[in-house]
Structure formats: C-alpha cells, structure tokens
Structure 1
Amino acid sequence: MAIAQIYVNLPVTDLEASTKVYLAMGGTVNPDFSGDTSVQVAFADTILVQLMTRETFATFTKRSTSDGPIEVINALAAGSREEVDRLADAALAAGATEPREAQDMGWLYNRAVDDPDGHCWELLAYDPSAL
C-alpha cells in the first residue's frame, strides 16, 4: 500500500491569524473538516494542514505543546522562483515572519516563513536538472 496523503497537524494560539497566513501561502479551507477549534487547509488533494487550537491539539497527545526547540521544518514546492517570492510575500503580509534570508543555490531557491506560532515552512522552487 502506498501513502496517499500527508496531514500536518499543528497547534496554534490564534486560529484566525494562523489560517490567514496559510491561505496567503496558497491554501484553501476545507469546510468539511473545519470548525471553531480547528481548520483544515488544503494545498493539494494530498497535502493537508490541520490547524488546531492548543487545547484541541492537546486532546490528541500526552506530550506538552509548550514552546521549545524547533522539531520540524515543513516545505512546500512551488513552480518557480517568482511563485516562491509571491507566496512568501503574501504570507509575510498576512502575519508570518521571515526567520532568515532567501537562499539561492542555483538549482534551488527557497525562502522560509514562520507562522504566528513559529511553525517553519520553506517555500521552494528547484530544477533537478541543474543540480
């Protein structure tokens, strides 16, 4: 059996503010899996981010959701450098922050944005033939 979808579940402090950032990065809300304490944002049929209030998220784990060291950097591939810049700029305008400068390695270009809770997302475009 092959993996069919990826779901990234994230605890957030302000559901509305976080949703705004993810929509700015190109996602759309799936109303079937959204409500007062959780919003599902789809980036594709197979890439879904479930934003949950910290209280709702805590019902799925016994581990603490307190701030701590970063444990994961998520990445979304875009079609071009211009699309990376457009999505990153839109996320920043929606309330994200940029934790570092853009990286241009010739074959790969990326920018990182942190959502309001510090969840890091790299937006990238690459040309494997130029590697």
Structure 2
Amino acid sequence: MSRKIFVNVCSQDLRRSIDFYAALGFTLVEEFTNEQAACLVLTDSIYVMAVTEGFFGETVTNGISTTGTQVVLALELDSREEVDEVADRALAAGGEKAKDPMDEGFMYGRSVLDPDGHHWELMWMSTDAT
C-alpha cells in the first residue's frame, strides 16, 4: 500500500514559507491552501504543510517549542550534484547553513535550516551502499 506523509511545520510568515519551499521545487496545492496553512507537494507521497503559528498551536496539545530542534527532516536526493543544487537554492531562498557538508564517499549530505529554523538534511547515498 502506498502512503503519503504530510510534514507539518510551524510558520511565522506563511508567504515566506511558500516562497522558500517553492524555491526547493515544491509545488503549491491551491485547493488545500488558505490564510492559515499552505500545502506544498514534492512527490506523489511527500507533502509539507506550512501552518501559521496560531493554527499550529490549535493542533498540538503540548505547546509549541521555541528553542532547540524537535525533529530533523531528511530528504533523499538523486545525486551529490542535486544535494548541492537544492542546498544552494535553500540558502538563496532565505535558509541558513546548519552544519558543514558531510562526505563519506558512498553518502553525501548538506544541512540547512528553513526560515523558521526547521532542520533539513539533504542527502544522497550510493545504491551500492544499500
């Protein structure tokens, strides 16, 4: 059975989040977007829901963390070059470098924080390594 994942991220500026994820190649889904949340699709099974802080707060029961990282979001890409391309687009779109690139030969990755501080690991791993 094929399943979809909807990653919900708290956004302090919804327009900024839409622009950031669009720069990474996500497509806005207008019919699931309003002034409180934006649905952005990367593949037929991966979606990001950028949700305003007020609306996000209504969906959680234990409050919104304002310090530290609660989750690391990892996205596998098709090549080392694509990792660099997406990371560079993320930085140009308002993201920040999270840490230095990681190169293990068979695996390569770069880390970025989106404009709201959500940690994304962009990675490629050789099919020979799996």
- Interval containing the TM-score (normalised by the shorter chain): over 0.9
When normalised by structure 1's length, the TM-score is 0.93
RMSD, aligned α-carbons: 1.3
Distance in structure 2 (CA, Å) of the matches to 1:76 and 1:108: 13
Distance in structure 2 (CA, Å) of the matches to 1:12 and 1:118: 9
Q: In the TM superposition, what is the alpha-carbon distance from 1:36 to its structure 2 partner?
A: 1.2
* Residue identity matched to 1:123: L
Is 1:108 the counterpart of 2:102? The answer is no
Q: How does 1:1-131 map to 2 (within 5 A)?
A: 2=1, 4-130=3-129
Distance in structure 1 (CA, Å) of the matches to 2:65 and 2:99: 23
User: Identity of counterpart residues, as a percentage?
Assistant: 36
The alignment covers a number of residue pairs equal to: 130
Contact 1:99 1:114 in 2 (8 A): yes
Q: Which runs of 4+ in 1 moved over 3 A?
A: none
Distance in structure 1 (CA, Å) of the matches to 2:116 and 2:61: 20
* Residue identity matched to 1:18: S
* Residue identity matched to 2:53: R
Select between 41-50 and 16-25 the one with higher mean Cα deviation: 16-25
Distance 1:71 1:3, change over 3 A: farther
Contact 1:11 1:52 in 2 (8 A): yes
Q: Which runs of 5+ in 1 are unaligned?
A: none
Distance in structure 1 (CA, Å) of the matches to 2:79 and 2:36: 34
Contact 1:106 1:130 in 2 (8 A): no
